[in-house]
Structure 1
Amino acid sequence: MIEARNLWKKYGDKVVLERLNLRVEEGEFITLVGASGCGKSTFLKMLLGTETASSGELLLDGKPIPDEPGPDRGIVFQQYSVFPHMSVLENVMAARGFGRPGVTGLLFGAARQQARDEARAILAEVGLGNAESLYPGELSGGMRQRLAIAQALLGQPRILLLDEPFGALDPGIRADMHDLVLRLWREYELTVFMVTHDLTEGFYLGTRLWVFDKTRLDPQAPDAYGATITYDLPVGQMDGGKLKKIDRDLTLTARETEKAL
């Protein structure tokens, strides 16, 4: 479904990602971990279509990923992408409206009623069926993230992109969100890419763990080389020693980068 061929991403002279070669089958759940600034979110944006490759190819079903977001790719950020002046129901309906042709994204008549019905069904799926009349300011952090997930799902995407979606949540709420995302992944038959700063979370969710890290670093030119995928591991088949080694590698890279800067 997704394939990268010698993929590079640069901003001017700064190399963020280099030599990415990978294949992802439909229905996989990929978690991405790595030190801050190693290109995890950049790769997610390339999948979304808001960033383009500097060289190499990033393909969806054998064709270049469009250089703009589309309904086949939904995204959820750590910072809740909701409209504070709209109710929960209106927020989810707006996601459908913005996916339609036209400037305003307004819905009328039968289209509006269909969007309302679909939004209510999605809200029930994510556990917000009784909160549709509330506003984002009245919701807890976990409820706001459920709302953001509902927005992303309304377009019926094939690919769900999660950019550190649970980083600001308390541990108990995060565990509930893990259960929700795993259930929705299976129920909607999604292909999921999830960035996380928590190595343990990345290891225990989904089907594959990718570790983004730099394999080469020039102290005199810290931006000369980018990160690549140093580990591509099946989740659930790694011993504790491997987990500790990855953690040490990432910590060492972060320290070396800080010294170089």
Structure 2
Amino acid sequence: MSFVTVEDVFQSYGNRPILERVNVTIDEGQFISIVGASGCGKSTFLRLLLAQERPSRGRISIDGAPPAVEPGPDRGVVFQRYSVFPHMTVRQNLVAAQSFGANGWGMLWGRALRAARQKADATLDRIGLAHVADSYPAALSGGMQQRLAIGQALAAKPRILLLDEPFGALDPGTRLSMHDFLQDLRAETGMTVFMVTHDLSEGFKLGDRVLVFDKTRWDPQAPEAYGATITYDFDARDGGIPFQHLKEKTHVPVP
């Protein structure tokens, strides 16, 4: 049985359709890159996977469970802009992330707090930030802040990691080092990853599969009249997928 099942999902905001007829199944442990033009519903799809939003129609199931009604600790998320707590130290950010459970945020005390600090220090060693454990995020470089954000997302041991343009704000050199970092973590944890990116080469480099979102119906007089769907599903490990296939127009003008 597939780990993530998306069945006939539609999403609209008011009278504006964003996604339509989205169907896909994902095996556990796969890395899924999501690409497509701006405004074609990539981030919306990520929010649906997170259960931050619920689809207008259709269902999303994780490991055969009923559709989630709100985000839970089984799903971690990292955004392009560093999603950490600026008023907490690096270590405190990771401790706080461990307090997020099935009933939301809670407080840790006594033995639980000591255990959380030990786990935080172990995570900091793994992500290369042990030497700045007592620093605040503002004192870190962009790459270090994004490492912290990923470490924070992993602190609750999610089964799915959702990345929304996680490296878009980084310089090219830092971005490449973050690719290596993410690949190492993925190999170590075996978690299922969904990553939205505008960089095709990044999507093919990191992903096992590349999902392309686009509109199959398009009205030049009303460009927002139709939603997007998955128009291509590439095996990125095939080794011979020409990028130009992604540049072809897939929408059909409405007469």
Assess same fold via TM > 0.5. Answer: yes
- Do 2:48 and 2:55's aligned partners in 1 also have CA atoms closer than 8 Å? yes
Q: Could you list the runs of 4 or more consecutive aligned residues of structure 1 that deviate by over 6 angstroms after TM superposition?
A: none
Amino acid at match of 2:244: K
> Could you tell me how far 1:98 is from its partner in structure 2?
3.4
Q: Which runs of 5+ in 1 are unaligned?
A: 257-261
Give 1:9-48 correspondences, 5 Å limit.
9-48=11-50
Alpha-carbon distance in 2 for matches of 1:209, 1:66: 25
- The 1-side partners of 2:95 and 2:77 are apart by 16
Superposed CA deviations along residues 127-168 of structure 1, whole A, max 9, x for unmatched, are: 111110111110000000000011000101110000100000
2:163 matched to 1:162? yes
Q: Is the 8 A contact 2:165 2:198 kept in 1?
A: yes
**Distance in 2 (alpha carbons) for counterparts of 1:18 and 1:97:** 36
Residues in 2 aligned to 1:135 and 1:181: alpha-carbon distance in whole angstroms: 22
> Counterpart in 2 of 1:259?
none
Alignment of 1:1-261 (within 5 A): 1-99=3-101, 101=103, 105-237=106-238, 239=240, 242-249=242-249
On the 8 A contact 1:47/1:65 being kept in 2, the answer is no
1:10-31 Cα distance to aligned partner (Å, 9 max, x none): 1111111111111101010000
Secondary structure, in 3 states, of the residue corresponding to 2:157?
A: coil
For each residue in 1:51-74, what CA deviation from the matched residue of structure 2 results, as whole angstroms up to 9, or x when unmatched? 111111111122333121111100
Contact 1:203 / 1:209 at 8 angstroms: preserved in 2? Answer: yes
Query: Which has the larger displacement, 200-209 or 58-67?
Result: 58-67
Q: Which residue type is aligned with residue 92 of structure 1?
A: L
Equivalent pair of 1:182/1:206 in contact (CA under 8 Å): no
Displacement of 1:248 in angstroms is 4.5
Change (3 A) 1:54 1:137: same
Query: Any gaps of 5 or more consecutive residues in structure 2?
Result: none
Q: Aligned-pair distance for 1:46?
A: 0.6
For the 8 Å contact 2:73–2:102, the answer to whether it is kept is no
Give 2:56's aligned amino acid: S
> For 1:98 and 1:72, how far apart are their aligned partners in 2?
10
Normalised TM-score (structure 2): 0.93
Structure 1 residues 13 and 54 mapped into 2: Cα distance closer, same or farther (>3 Å)? Answer: same
Tell me, in whole angstroms, the C-alpha distance in 2 between the residues paired with 1:75 and 1:102: 15
Distance 1:218 1:6 in 2: 22
Shift of residue 100, structure 1, vs aligned partner: 6.9
Q: Flag the 1:52–1:197 CA change in 2: closer, same or farther, 3 A.
A: same
Q: Which amino acid aligns with 2:148?
A: L
User: Could you say what secondary structure the match of 1:144 adopts?
Assistant: helix
Displacement of 1:244 in angstroms is 1.7
In 1: Cα distance, 2:155 partner to 2:100 partner: 11
Deviation, 1:101, is 4.7
Which is richer in helix? 1
Partner SS for 2:143: helix
Structure 1 238/102 Cα, relative in aligned 2: closer, same or farther at 3 Å? closer
Letter in 2 for 1:9: Q
Give 1:223 deviation, angstroms: 1.9
SS in 1 for 2:237: coil
Q: Give deviations 1:80-110, integer Å, cap 9, x for gaps.
A: 111111110011111112337576x322100
Q: 2 CA distance for matches of 1:152 and 1:75?
A: 6
Cα separation, 2, equivalents of 1:139 and 1:102? 28
Q: How many Å separate the matches in 2 of 1:47 and 1:216?
A: 24
Taking only the aligned residue pairs, the percentage that are identical comes to 55
CA contact (8 A) 2:99 2:108 kept: yes
Count of paired positions:
250
